Amino acid sequence: MDEVPGTRTFRDSGAGYDTFMGRYSKELAPAFADVCVPAAPGRFLDVGCGPGALTGVAVARLGAAAVAAVDPTPGFVRTCQQRYPGVDVREATAEALPFGDDGFDGAAAQLVLHFVTDPQVAVSEMARVVRPGGVLAAAVWDFTGGMQMLRAFWDAALSLDSAAPHEAHELRFGSPGELAELFSGGGLQDVAESTITVASRYDGFDELWEGFLRGIGPAGAYAAAQPLENQARLRTALFAEVGRPEGGFSLDATARIVRARTPG
């Protein structure tokens, strides 16, 4: 399968992702599931499942046989399959879901729409595979300041390199109203946007910094690509941005949520 541009910085293992962004997606998944996972005995599709944070919550609520998942990254597909035997996990993009029409009661994309090549096609595909009156939902990080880890990183990077690819400028749907507009443009009904805030605890600054050096996501790819001298400067700047913690600390992350129903 051809690689999707948005997946090129997510080549690490599922375990590697867990130490970086996965620690936030695991915190987000239960609250997001309250919005998007149907009641039993409904069937649910996790679009862009990664290592399976949302998949796992859906399995706990519906059972593995009622859950399917897709991701375009082979390593994530393998990890999700290993973690949740019995779930139908397939390698596929959000724009070409390998399922028939009306086969699910709900479908959701957690922390995915930032990266898909064609978000409107992805939403149309999600609507296609969900029955009339079923639930569609998506969650993305709020890049206006609500995702403290990434905001601190890019503020530190931009203080040293004005050409750094600040995610708040590069990634889509992180501002109020953008997700709702995307779903409304797809002909969905009862479109509502909200927010969910979670937090992740770090034992110390090194735990935060080492996550970036994994090279995962745009921030990690930027950090890992820097010469050692620049990495040291970036580390110092990031340490200042998060308040020079001497021990453990927490960072908040706010996700923008959209929920809608398919016509019917």
The reported pLDDT for the residue numbered 11 is 54
Q: Is 5-145+170-199+254-261 a domain of CATH 3.40.50.150? A: yes
The reported pLDDT for the residue numbered 170 is 60
Q: Does pTM top 0.85 for this prediction?
A: yes
**Cis peptide leading into residue 245 (ω within 30°):** no
The reported pLDDT for the residue numbered 173 is 80
The reported pLDDT for the residue numbered 4 is 42
The reported pLDDT for the residue numbered 264 is 84
The reported pLDDT for the residue numbered 1 is 30
The reported pLDDT for the residue numbered 123 is 97
- Which ranges of the chain have pLDDT less than 70? 1-14, 145, 167-171
